[in-house]
Amino acid sequence: MAPRLSPYVSLPGTAREAPAFYRSVLGGEVTISTFGEFGVAEGIDPDGVMHGQFDTPSGFTLMVSEAVAGKSSATGSNLALCLFGDDLEQLRGFFTGLAEGGEVTTPLAAQVWGDQYGALTDRFGVDWMVDVSAPA
């Protein structure tokens, strides 16, 4: 397998819920492994998500885990997941779905550079950008 890059997000208390929500918006398959399946360490919930993976038909992969005590899980503005392409209707649907229960910070609209662009923070505190290329 060729090397790939995927975001891996720590989600305190929502690592099981988040991939199911993303699947409802983007399509795809979710797999979940718990700490208990691999021999839980003392003080960690055995039902907590050690590793969750969400793979879409479009080739997106997002990995998640529960935030573990003692490890920082603060969300910040230094990282955003960006969906981009030229299918306006599909990307508008992704934007609308991801915004449900979250906060739109920039409405999806035509920008000075010609693309349709919008930004939001989803219900799990994950920042997203959606950019639809201008028609050629």
User: Taking Cα atoms as reference points, which of 33, 90, 106 lies closest to residue 64?
Assistant: 33
Question: Are β-strands 81-85 and 127-132 bridged in parallel, bridged antiparallel, or unpaired?
Answer: parallel
Q: pLDDT tens digits for 55-107?
A: 999 999 999 998 765 555 565 666 889 999 999 999 999 999 999 999 999 99
Task: Tokens 């290329």: give the residue.
Answer: 133
C-beta of residue 62 within 8 angstroms of C-beta of residue 22: yes
Coil, strand, or helix at residue 117? strand
Residues 18 and 32 sit within 8 Å (Cβ to Cβ): no
pTM reported for the whole predicted model: 0.84
- For residue 71, what are its two tokens? 């490890």
Dump pLDDT digits (tens) for 29-65.
999 999 889 887 677 888 999 999 999 999 999 999 9
pLDDT of residue 72: 58
